Amino acid sequence: MLNPLKKSLSDPYDNERLIRIVDYIRHNPYDRDAYIELAVKLTEMKRFDQAIKSFNKANALKEDYITLYNIGCLYYKKSDYKNAILVLEKSKLINSRFHMNFLLTGLCYGRLNNFKAAESNFINVLMTNPDNSTALTSLAVLYHNQGRVEDSLKLINRLSGLKSGSDAVKKIKSEILFNSGKTAESATEMKQIKNSSEKFRDFNDYVKTIPVAILKDKYGSVEEKIQKLEDTPSKTRDNLISLSLCHLFSGNTDSAIDYLIEARSCAAV
């Protein structure tokens, strides 16, 4: 007999597939895979409570750590961190080497402001997988939120040396550097993002195609505005933002970043 679920896998995200799965389960109530597929579909539809029930039915037929982890993920999406932790701890008992359990548990404890437990879970991941970028990033953010800036930066620097170091990591590093008063280094990180990010490069190329002459108005050309703003003795936040925008439209994105960072510093004072 052909399993109708196989056909449903290629269906678009609509109620037809859901109806097929439910109908199949009605006639095959002990098919664990069917409950899993139903739970996945319900998750796609953001019907998390029903998805949890379906995963639990699958678990009642045969418990495994992946299903428990999926339930933990759904509780996390619902911001029900305590129940997520309970389920994830059960999953750990079945498979203590599945690091995703520890990552998610750490995130849950972080949300509950239990920083010691969060740190313990992230470190557990790094003990077996020292280059795990998610654990490094999570622990760096945790340390930063606790005011442990130097410890946070050490982890971010480790991340920067990994191939997996993404633009998102660079943004976090830039933020941590800025908040620790290292604005020049923060600007450097932002410039690296600008040079590595394809989206930013596309925008950068677009800005350079704008003829500077068309930006001239009664207040003068872009170059004249930059000169006037830079000659102003005291630099206010609005003055610095204006300088950043003028440099941006003149194609000098590095200077635009420098002035934007300086404007942020003024706002933070």
Q: What is the pLDDT of residues 106-162, one digit of tens each?
A: 999 999 999 999 999 999 999 988 888 888 888 888 887 787 878 888 887 787 666
Whole-angstrom Cα distance, residue 237 to residue 78? 40
DSSP code, position 220: B
Helix (H, G, I), strand (E, B) or coil at 233: coil
Q: Please state the rounded mean pLDDT for residues 239-248.
A: 68
**pLDDT at res. 195:** 61
**pLDDT at res. 117:** 95
Whole-angstrom Cα distance, residue 42 to residue 57? 14
For the chain, first and last CA: distance in Å? Answer: 72
Residue pair 57/70 in contact by the 8 Å Cβ criterion? no
**pLDDT at res. 134:** 82
Higher pLDDT, 26 or 196: 26
Q: What is the mean pLDDT of the chain?
A: 77
Q: Which of the residue ranges 44-58, 170-184, 208-222 has the most confident prediction, judged by mean pLDDT?
A: 44-58
**Cβ partners under 8 Å of residue 86, min gap 6:** none
Instruction: Please report, rounded to a whole number, the percentage of residues in the chain having pLDDT higher than 90.
Output: 35
* pLDDT greater than 90 at residue 50: yes
Residues of each domain in the chain carrying CATH 1.25.40.10: 4-203
* pLDDT greater than 70 at residue 199: no
**pLDDT at res. 124:** 93
* pLDDT greater than 80 at residue 175: no
C-alpha dist (Å) from residue 32 to 46, 57, 225: 21, 8, 69
Q: Architecture of 4-203 per CATH?
A: Alpha Horseshoe (1.25)
Q: Please state the rounded mean pLDDT for residues 83-106.
A: 94
Upper half-sphere CA count for residue 25 (Cβ side, 13 Å)? 17
**pLDDT at res. 214:** 38
Confidence band of 55 (pLDDT split at 50, 70, 90): very high
